[in-house]
C-alpha cells in the first residue's frame, strides 16, 4: 500500500496523467511510439540505485565525502562536481542513438556545453556561504562485500544496455532479479512514479503526433537549425527533453541543433529533465527547509542556466557547427 500511496501522491505524475488522458480523446497511442529502451534503462538505473542504498554504499560514500570537506562551500563543490561527472556516465542521449553520430562529432558538440556549464557552476559555488562544518561523528557502517561486488558488476552491465550492446531490457531484468535475491523489499522503494511519468510522456507524444494540426505546427518550426534548436528547448520545458527529442526527431535531420536544444532544454522547468525531477523528489523526502523556498531558488538557478546556455547554443550553431 505504501508504494501505491507514494505513486498516487506524486504531483508531477498527477499532472502528467491528466494531460495524457486528455490526449486520448484525440488519438490512440501506438506501441511503436513508446520508447521502451529509455523506460528499461530508467528501471534498471532506479533499481541499481536502491540496491546501493540498501547496502549502505551511498551512506558510506556520503559520509566519506562529508568528512573530507571542511566547509559548506567545499562540500557543495565536491557533491556538485561528483554529480556532473557521474551524470556523464549514468545517462544516455537519444540524438546519438537516433542519428548514429560519431564519437568525435558528439564531443565537438558537447564539450562547449560542458565547459561553460562548469564555469557557471563554479561561479555559483562562490556565492555559497563558506561556513565551517561540524565534525562528522564516526559511524561503523558495514557493507556486505559480495552483494556490493555483484551490484557493481550489474552497474557496469547496465551500460551495455544504454549503448545497445545488449537489449536494454536485459540489464533491467538482471537488476530486478539481483534486488529480489538480496532483499525483495528493495523493489518497494523504486521510484515507480518517475517511471510512470515517462510512460505517460511517451503515450502523450504518440497521441499528439497523430493530430494533423500538431503535425503541421511542428513541421512549420523545422525550417532551420535555429528553429529546431529553440523548438526543442521550449518543448522540453513542458514534456521533458527525452520525449521532446523523440517527438521532434521525427520531423528534422538537424541532429546538431536537436542535440544542443535537448541538452540545454534540460535546464529550466522542473520537468525539463529526469534529473530535475529526481533532485526535487529527493529534496521533498530529505530536505529541511521550505519546499516553496527551495523550488523558487531551484527555478531561478535553472532558468539562469537556461538563458546563458541558450545564448551559447545559438553562437555554437552560428560559428562552430
Asked whether residue 27 carries a pLDDT value surpassing 80, the answer given is yes
- pLDDT of res. 54: 92
pLDDT digits (tens, 9 = 90+) for 90-115: 665 555 766 666 767 777 788 888 88
> Which three cell numbers, joined as nine digits, stand for 176?
530486478
> How far, in Å, CA of 306 to CA of 238, rounded?
14
Residue 71 β-bridge partners:
132
- pLDDT of res. 320: 63
pLDDT digits (tens, 9 = 90+) for 66-75: 777 778 888 8
pLDDT digits (tens, 9 = 90+) for 251-279: 888 988 998 999 999 999 988 888 888 88
Residue 132 β-bridge partners:
71
Average pLDDT value over all residues in the chain = 86
- pLDDT of res. 137: 65
Asked whether residue 85 carries a pLDDT value surpassing 90, the answer given is no
**HEC per residue, the chain:** CHHHHHHHCCHHHHHHHHHHHHHCCCCCCCHHHCCHHHHHHHHHHHHHHHHHHHCCHHHHHHHHHHHHCCEHHHHHHHHHHHHHHHHHHCCCCHHHHHHCCCHHHHHHHHHHHHHHHHHHHHHHHCCCCCCECCCCCCCCCCCCHHHHHHHHHHHHHHHHHHCCCCCCHHHHHHHHHHHHHHCHHHHHHCCHHHHHHHHHHHHHHHHHCCCHHHHHHHHHCCCCHHHHHHHHHHHHHHHCHHHHHHHHHCCCCCHHHHHHHHHHCCCCCCCCCHHHHHHHHHHHHHCCCCHHHHHHHHHHHHHHHHHHHHHHHHHHHHHCC
Question: Of 270, 274, 257, 183, nearest to 223 (Cα)?
Answer: 257
Asked whether residue 33 carries a pLDDT value surpassing 80, the answer given is yes
Asked whether residue 139 carries a pLDDT value surpassing 70, the answer given is no
User: What percentage of the chain reaches a pLDDT higher than 70?
Assistant: 93
Query: pLDDT confidence of 130, banded at 50, 70, 90?
Result: confident
- Dihedral class, residue 267 (left if φ above 0, else alpha if ψ from -120 to 50, else beta): beta
- pLDDT of res. 94: 57
> Which three cell numbers, joined as nine digits, stand for 158?
547496465
- pLDDT of res. 90: 63
pTM for the full model? Answer: 0.82
CA 36, distance to chain mean position in Å, is: 16
pLDDT digits (tens, 9 = 90+) for 179-196: 999 999 999 999 999 999
- pLDDT of res. 87: 74
- pLDDT of res. 226: 93
The average pLDDT across 236-243 equals 89
Amino acid at each position: 500500500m505504501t508504494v501505491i500511496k507514494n505513486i498516487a501522491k506524486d504531483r508531477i505524475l498527477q499532472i502528467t496523467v491528466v494531460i495524457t488522458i486528455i490526449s486520448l480523446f484525440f488519438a490512440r497511442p501506438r506501441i511503436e511510439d513508446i520508447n521502451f529502451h529509455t523506460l528499461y534503462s530508467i528501471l534498471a538505473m532506479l533499481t541499481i540505485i536502491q540496491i546501493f542504498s540498501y547496502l549502505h554504499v551511498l551512506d558510506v560514500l556520503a559520509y566519506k565525502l562529508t568528512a573530507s570537506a571542511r566547509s559548506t562551500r567545499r562540500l557543495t563543490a565536491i557533491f556538485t562536481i561528483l554529480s556532473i561527472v557521474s551524470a556523464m556516465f549514468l545517462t544516455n542521449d537519444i540524438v546519438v542513438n537516433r542519428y548514429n553520430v560519431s564519437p568525435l562529432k558528439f564531443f565537438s558538440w558537447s564539450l562547449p556545453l560542458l565547459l561553460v556549464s562548469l564555469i557557471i557552476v563554479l561561479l555559483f559555488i562562490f556565492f555559497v556561504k563558506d561556513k565551517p562544518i561540524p565534525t562528522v561523528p564516526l559511524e561503523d557502517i558495514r557493507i556486505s562485500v559480495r552483494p556490493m561486488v555483484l551490484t557493481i558488476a550489474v552497474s557496469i552491465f547496465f551500460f551495455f544496455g544504454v549503448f545497445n550492446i545488449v537489449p536494454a531490457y536485459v540489464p533491467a531484468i538482471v537488476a530486478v532479479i539481483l534486488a529480489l535475491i538480496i532483499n525483495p523489499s528493495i523493489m518497494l522503494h523504486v521510484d515507480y512514479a518517475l517511471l510512470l511519468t515517462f510512460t505517460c510522456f511517451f503515450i502523450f507524444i504518440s497521441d499528439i503526433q497523430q493530430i494533423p494540426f500538431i503535425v503541421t505546427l511542428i513541421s512549420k518550426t523545422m525550417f532551420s537549425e535555429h528553429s529546431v534548436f529553440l523548438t526543442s528547448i521550449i518543448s522540453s520545458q513542458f514534456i521533458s527533453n527525452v520525449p521532446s527529442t523523440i517527438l521532434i526527431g521525427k520531423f528534422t535531420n538537424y541532429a546538431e541543433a536537436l542535440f544542443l536544444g535537448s541538452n540545454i532544454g534540460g535546464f529550466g522547468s522542473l520537468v525539463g529533465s529526469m534529473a530535475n525531477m529526481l533532485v526535487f523528489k529527493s529534496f521533498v523526502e530529505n530536505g529541511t527547509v521550505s519546499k516553496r523556498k527551495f523550488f523558487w531558488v531551484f527555478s531561478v538557478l535553472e532558468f539562469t542556466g537556461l538563458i546563458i546556455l541558450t545564448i551559447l547554443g545559438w553562437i555554437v550553431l552560428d560559428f562552430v557547427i
